[in-house]
Amino acid sequence: MNELRIAALIMAAGESARFGGCKHLAEVDGVPMLQSSVDCVHGLVAETYAVTGAWHSEIAMALSAGRISGVTLIHNANWQRGLGSSIATGVAAIAAEFDGVLILLADQVAITQEDIRALLSQFDRNNIVCGAYFGRHGVPAIFGAPYFEMLKNLPGNPSADRRVDRSVDRSVDRSVDRSVDRSVDRSVDIGARNLLNSGELPVIACSMPRAAVDIDTRRALADWHAREPVLSSVEISAYSTSKM
């Protein structure tokens, strides 16, 4: 584990409208999707938290029942305001105890411990380290303590940025698979992604094609289950962009 005290903050607050249910508890490779994210950072960070919202009760019940373990829940009562709000809520709850916060999305199912280690190897407490894919910076990303106040004050209305984000992604690659959404979360642009791509912050980017894969629909989940058991970074990148 990195000698600095780093907390993982997994975003799991959305209502999963396109999925049609609580996707955070849908099985991915035999475990709930949220547990897959928890396992990905296990042993690499000091503590793991998940910010919940629309499905907080269901996720809390799964935690109590032992379906999910190794994570502490932080409930964002204002989850409707988007991921900017959830990031702010999560960081505000834990910032005093840590040197850095690793932000990732519960539905980025292709990310591996190798990817997380790559970020950690570049982190020094005072910088920002993130994944890079499709010509953009995005989560997962580690923000050092000097940026906690900025994260705690992120805005929360996602509607305008959601539309802008989808437009930007289509302009980068028009062959995007609609079932494996590359938008790095429909509202994360209000917070982490805009900051990472602003050009105003000292960001170190690590190539991370696996981070482009996320699960928004049941079709996307079925496609993920139908993939080859082991995919290289190049193959995962092709998987994310080759379908219409």
Domain boundary assignment for the chain: 6-241
Convert the pLDDT of each residue in 104-116 to its tens digit. Answer: 999 999 999 999 9
Beta bridge partners of 136: 133
Neighbours of 200 (CB within 10 A): 7
Reading the block at residue 95, the tokens are 């910032």
Reading the block at residue 98, the tokens are 């840590």
Convert the pLDDT of each residue in 36-63 to its tens digit. Answer: 999 999 999 999 999 999 999 999 999 9
| Cβ–Cβ under 8 Å, residues 205 and 130 | yes
Q: Which residue bears the tokens 């609580």? A: 22
DSSP 30: T
Distance between CA atoms of residues 41 and 83, nearest Å: 20
Q: Which of 63-67, 94-98, 168-172 comes out lowest in average pLDDT?
A: 168-172
Q: Which of 71-75, 169-173, 240-244 comes out lowest in average pLDDT?
A: 169-173
Q: Which of 7-21, 58-72, 119-133, 157-171 comes out lowest in average pLDDT?
A: 157-171
CATH topology of domain 6-241: Spore Coat Polysaccharide Biosynthesis Protein SpsA; Chain A (3.90.550)
